């Protein structure tokens, strides 16, 4: 797959799955537009790509603020011309049992994980419709499909991403735009590194492949969905979970 001449926006690109997606797309010729609120880490990812002879540009943007996202997207379009790909990956957790969960933790997870997808998609969709071309991939989660104790906010936000994906896919399919989601299972990232060993072992017990996934394995599926080879795939949720949920 050759993405030369294509501009790809990746939110939450400073680490983990977002970083892996950015590195993978850059290695295949894309001009990657990195978005995150962690500017120092974002600059480090951009430099890593540049050191590998790739093209990367870092933008510090809070995905939860619509006006800031709209302004940033207009700047990106001016700076990079046509934007071909959007990967909505930014996400956070604020885990707790529902009876102990604070309203602020519910609201913040929804604002980043779900509203952030809405904000970036809305800011870009007219541009993609005008070009009659676009690829949007939203990062959901296995827990958005099966649930998980202590993650009612995170699970609800990721389930919302699935519904959003299917609805937007129907709206823009006739305009040459595909909208899909991927739902990773347990992937080795800084977010999952913080889990206690007992919790990790519980996850291993329900994963038929008996191992955790790697960020690059998610990135490879995202790259396929962004490619012209996936032109007839839209409104789908691709599970990447080693059989954890079928």
154 is catalytic: yes
Write the CB contacts of 221 (distance below 8 Å, at least 6 apart in sequence). Answer: 182, 238, 240
Query: Contact 34/22 with Cβ under 8 angstroms?
Result: yes
CB neighbour list of residue 99: distance below 8 Å, 6 or more residues apart: none
- Of 59, 133, 154, 186, the catalytic one is 154
* Whether the Cβ atoms of residue 96 and residue 108 lie closer than 8 Å to each other: no
What spatial distance separates the first Cα and last Cα of the chain, rounded to whole Å? 29
Looking at beta carbons, which pairs linking 129-132 to residues 24 or more positions away fall under 8 Å?
129/172, 129/175, 129/177, 131/82, 131/84, 131/176, 132/175, 132/176, 132/177
- What distance separates the 2 farthest-apart alpha carbons in the chain? 51
> ∠70-67-129 over CA atoms, to 5°?
30
Task: Residue count of the chain, please give it.
Answer: 246
Q: Are 114 and 139 in contact (CB under 8 A)?
A: no
Which residues are marked as active site? 154
């Amino acid at each position: 797959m050759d993405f030369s001449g294509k501009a790809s926006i990746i939110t939450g690109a400073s680490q983990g799955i977002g970083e892996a997606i950015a590195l993978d797309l850059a290695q295949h010729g894309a001009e990657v537009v990195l978005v995150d609120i962690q500017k120092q880490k974002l600059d480090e990812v951009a430099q890593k790509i540049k050191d590998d002879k790739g093209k990367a540009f870092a933008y510090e943007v809070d995905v939860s603020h619509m006006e800031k996202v709209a302004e940033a997207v207009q700047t990106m379009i001016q700076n990079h011309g046509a934007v071909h790909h959007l990967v909505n990956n930014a996400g956070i957790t604020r885990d707790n049992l529902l009876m102990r969960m604070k309203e602020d933790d519910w609201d913040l997870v929804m604002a980043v994980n779900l509203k952030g997808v809405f904000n970036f998609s809305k800011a870009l969709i007219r541009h993609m419709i005008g070009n009659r071309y676009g690829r949007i991939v939203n990062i959901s989660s296995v827990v958005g499909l099966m649930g998980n104790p202590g993650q009612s906010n995170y699970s609800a936000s990721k389930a919302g991403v699935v519904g959003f994906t299917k609805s937007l896919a129907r709206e823009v399919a006739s305009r040459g735009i595909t909208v899909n989601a991927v739902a990773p299972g347990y992937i080795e990232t800084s977010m999952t590194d913080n889990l206690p060993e007992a919790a990790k072992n519980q996850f291993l017990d329900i994963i038929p492949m008996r191992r955790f996934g790697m960020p690059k394995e998610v990135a490879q599926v995202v790259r396929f969905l962004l490619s012209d080879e996936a032109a007839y795939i839209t409104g789908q949720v691709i599970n990447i979970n080693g059989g954890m949920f079928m």
